[in-house]
Structure formats: C-alpha cells, structure tokens
Structure 1
Amino acid sequence: MVYAVGYDEDTKDLEVVFNTGKIWVYKDVPPDVYKKLLNSNSVGSFMLNNIIDCYSEDRIN
C-alpha cells in the first residue's frame, strides 16, 4: 500500500507515496502521529485507521 513517507516538521505535512505511484500530502499531522506511523507494525493499517480521512489531504499527481 505505502511505498515511502516523508514529513516536514515546519509545515507538519506528511507526504505519502503509494505503491500505485500516487502521491498524497496530509496537512497538519502532529509529529507524534508521524512517529507512531514510523513505528507501527503495519504502515498501511495505521494510514487507514489514523491518517486517511482524518487530516486534510491533497493529491500531488
């Protein structure tokens, strides 16, 4: 589901590259949520339960 993630601490933007090649940016994601994402057993499940539809999002491509 998730190929790569990146996080900007200044803007709190979480950038996610999915296996499909689509890139989404999730806005105002708190640093602790990003850290929990990185430490989760399943990044995909964490995204579905804690980020997707929980934060404002923009598709980049």
Structure 2
Amino acid sequence: MRREHLDSSCVRSAGYDPAEGELEVEFVGGSVYRYLAVPEPVYRALLAAESHGRYLNREIKGRYGYRRI
C-alpha cells in the first residue's frame, strides 16, 4: 500500500486501500498499524487534519479494529 508522508510529530505516513477499507498508519517510531473497515472520508479527514496525531487519537483509535504489521 502506498502511503502519503505526513508532517506530524507522531505519524510519519498514512495510506488507504479503498477496495478493502483499510487504513495503514506508520508512526514516527517505525511501527505500522492497519485499521480495518475505515470509511474513505475518515482517511481523507486524517490527511486534511491540522493535527494528524490528534485526529487519529480522537476519530480512529478505539473506533476501528486494527492489527500491527
């Protein structure tokens, strides 16, 4: 999955697979998580957010299943 670089202190990049509804997030520390059944507008809002980390914590973590890859 191709990820977009994000200018963030905690999120290095994020990518989205619309066919699967999967959001992939790479953190600055190097870990990568794939969030499941995420609607595309949520991904687009993450990219547009003033604070990517804050948006991720508020709108994605705890709302969608995930796995570390």
In which range does the TM-score fall when normalised by the shorter chain?
A: over 0.9
Deviation digits for residues 6-35 of structure 1, max 9, x if unmatched? 000100100000001000000000011111
| 1:43 and 2:49 are equivalent in the alignment | no
Unaligned runs of 5+ in 2: 1-9
TM superposition score normalised by structure 2: 0.85
Structure 2 residue aligned with 1:20: 29
- Percent sequence identity is 37
- Runs of 4+ displaced beyond 2 Å: none
How many corresponding residue pairs? 60
Give the alignment's Cα RMSD to 1 decimal.
Answer: 0.5
1:52 is aligned with what amino acid? Answer: K
For structure 1, which runs of at least 5 residues remain unmatched after alignment? none
TM-score, normalising length from structure 1? 0.95
